[in-house]
Amino acid sequence: MGDRGGRVFSQAVEDYVKVIYKLQQEEEAVSTTALSRRMKTTPAAATKMMKALAESRLLDYTPYYGVRLTEAGERVALEVIRHHRLLELYLHQALGYSWDEVDAEAEKLEHHISEEFEDRIDRMLDYPVRDPHGDPIPTREGTVAPQRGEPLAESEAGDTLIVLRVRDNDPEALRYLAGIGMRLEGVITVREKQPFNGPLLLEIGGIMHSVGRELAGHVFVERISETERETVLAGTAGW
């Protein structure tokens, strides 16, 4: 599987390390249950793998508490994520995959491309910094830009917003969002926000759509002023 100056790890190891990386963005330490849920295995399997990864110095494991990646572990995770996001963008740009298809295909390929392949698509895409969902692509050296935007669900009626990022892991949601005209870097306006966790009324490309809070949680946005709105819309005229 992936290398880059280090040992070679199995696909299983790469996958565990990747999801641990993502989980530890949220939590101080990653618990056995959280990990096994995401990996769709039993907690027992997660425990065993955690011990093995600790053995390989990819993470620090405190029994009954949880797990945290080491430097080395983060490097492995970021390499896998780099592959994933470069692949997503490549599949989208070069092969015409849609928003909702890229994740699944990249998921399989990310463990099997060579550094040569990585370099070539990176060059072909002109060294991109974000994937089709707005996620930052880690550099070859292992640094990542911070995630952008706050949840759309936290916006208020009257806000004018730019879409900076959407969650990549729910094809259904992505298909639906694409269907109502939601695009990266596109402008949306919150017309109403229903109480009791009710839906948001969004204006997208002049059309109104009602979007529930759960779905809104998949979208990350940035507020802009009315004047900014004009410039952005001018740039996307003709969509």
Partner DNA sequence: GGTAATATTTAACCGATGTTAAATTAAGAT
Partner DNA sequence: ATCTTAATTTAACATCGGTTAAATATTACC
CA atoms of 46 and 17, how far apart (whole Å): 11
Collapse the DSSP code of 40 into the 3-class scheme (helix H, G, I; strand E, B; otherwise coil) and give the result: coil
Q: Min. distance of Cβ 73 from DNA in angstroms?
A: 14
Residue 137: how many other CB atoms lie within 10 Å? 23
Q: Min. distance of Cβ 128 from a second copy in angstroms?
A: 16
Taking CB under 8 A as the criterion, the residue among 55, 112, 147, 198 binding a second copy is 112
Which is nearer to a second copy, 48 or 108 (by Cβ)? 108
Collapse the DSSP code of 33 into the 3-class scheme (helix H, G, I; strand E, B; otherwise coil) and give the result: helix
Q: Is 54 in the site for DNA (CB under 7 A)?
A: no
Taking CB under 7 A as the criterion, the residue among 3, 8, 57, 63 binding DNA is 63
Cβ proximity of 84 and 106 under 8 Å: yes
Q: Per CB under 7 A, which region of 39-47, 105-113, 162-170, 182-190 contacts DNA?
A: 39-47
Which is nearer to a second copy, 113 or 204 (by Cβ)? 113
Q: Min. distance of Cβ 9 from a second copy in angstroms?
A: 15
Collapse the DSSP code of 187 into the 3-class scheme (helix H, G, I; strand E, B; otherwise coil) and give the result: strand
Q: Is 124 in the site for a second copy (CB under 8 A)?
A: yes
Q: Is 43 in the site for DNA (CB under 7 A)?
A: yes
Q: Which does 33 bind (CB under 5 to 8 A by kind): a second copy, DNA, none?
A: DNA
* Angle, in degrees to the nearest 10, between helices 102-109 and 71-95: 130
Give the 3-state DSSP-derived string for 202-223, with helices as H, strands as E and coil as C. Answer: EEECCEEEEECHHHHCCEEEEE
Taking CB under 7 A as the criterion, the residue among 6, 8, 44, 214 binding DNA is 44
- E strands, the chain, in order: 59-62, 66-69, 150-151, 160-166, 187-193, 200-204, 207-211, 219-223
For a second copy, the binding residues (CB under 8 A) are 94-97, 101, 104-105, 108-109, 111-114, 116-117, 120-121, 124
- Which residues of the shown chain bind DNA in the complex (CB under 7 A)? 10-13, 31-34, 39-52, 61, 63-66
